[in-house]
Amino acid sequence: MDIITPQVLYHGTAERCVGSFGQRLLNRTYWRPGRDFGEGFYTTISPAQARKWAHKAAGGSVQPTRPCVLVIEMASLPRRLTPCVFLSESLAWADFIFNHRSATGKGQDPCDRHPDIVIGPMADNDTGKLMVDALQLGKDVEWFYDQITRTANGRRLDALRLGNQVVFSSERWEPHLRFIGYYVHAEGRWVYHDQSSQTESV
């Protein structure tokens, strides 16, 4: 099966991390457990979504830093690729998220073999809080599925409104990705920096 992946992806982070990403994009040491699609490097096809992630990353930093969005080119694909693609929200998608959100220890994974790349919709609402509620109240995956496809106000969203995430779960993707530039949020606007030339433009 051929998987045609997006050529350009975005990753929201904090400006202080740009230097380390310039040396190496994929480092599983920093991948956190308990996330939607498991441990990995999270990207999106949406610049707007990446900007939200960037503001969250910068706001949670212990050191003063600015929001930053990396621009990444997928130059090629590894051989013998093991993908997992969720074309839309579904019970199987919710079950995958529920199981991976339940894994709180580094290196824990409910998959017999975790996919090299996972592509699919994002969960809406406060997924972390919903996981706590589901475990404490003994709720099933159907309840969880219903909750993560709603806004905080209870409005139901379809996959096109949930947003998209592309997660690299293996470091063997490193030679296939190219860090081409980044945006930094400064004085109310996003300023682009070209990674290859280190020149700045607006």
Q: What is the mean pLDDT of the chain?
A: 89
pLDDT band at 125 (very low <50, low <70, confident <90, very high): low
Q: What is the pLDDT of residues 7-49, one digit of tens each?
A: 899 999 999 999 999 999 999 999 999 999 999 999 999 999 9
Burial of 168 by CB count in 10 Å (0-12 exposed, 13-18 middle, 19+ buried)?
buried
CA distance 61 to 54: 11
The two tokens of residue 43 are 């990207």
Residue 159 or 86, more confident: 86
- As a whole number of Å, the CA-based R_g of the chain is 17
Asked if 128 and 82 count as a contact pair (C-beta separation under 8 A), the reply is no
pLDDT band at 201 (very low <50, low <70, confident <90, very high): very low
What average pLDDT does range 153-163 have in this prediction?
Answer: 81
- How many CB atoms neighbour CB 120 within 10 A? 24
Asked if 68 and 83 count as a contact pair (C-beta separation under 8 A), the reply is no
Report CA 4 to chain centroid distance, whole Å. 19
The two tokens of residue 183 are 């945006």
Asked if 85 and 52 count as a contact pair (C-beta separation under 8 A), the reply is no
pLDDT beyond 80 at 85? yes
What average pLDDT does range 50-79 have in this prediction?
Answer: 90
The two tokens of residue 184 are 């930094």
Q: Which of 132-136, 160-164, 177-181 has the lowest mean pLDDT?
A: 160-164
The pTM of this model reads 0.90
- Among 88, 86, 73, CA closest to 7: 73
pLDDT beyond 60 at 1? no
Q: 2-11, 76-85, 172-181 — which one is most confidently predicted on average?
A: 172-181
Q: What percent of the chain has pLDDT over 90?
A: 63
Q: DSSP state, 171? A: G
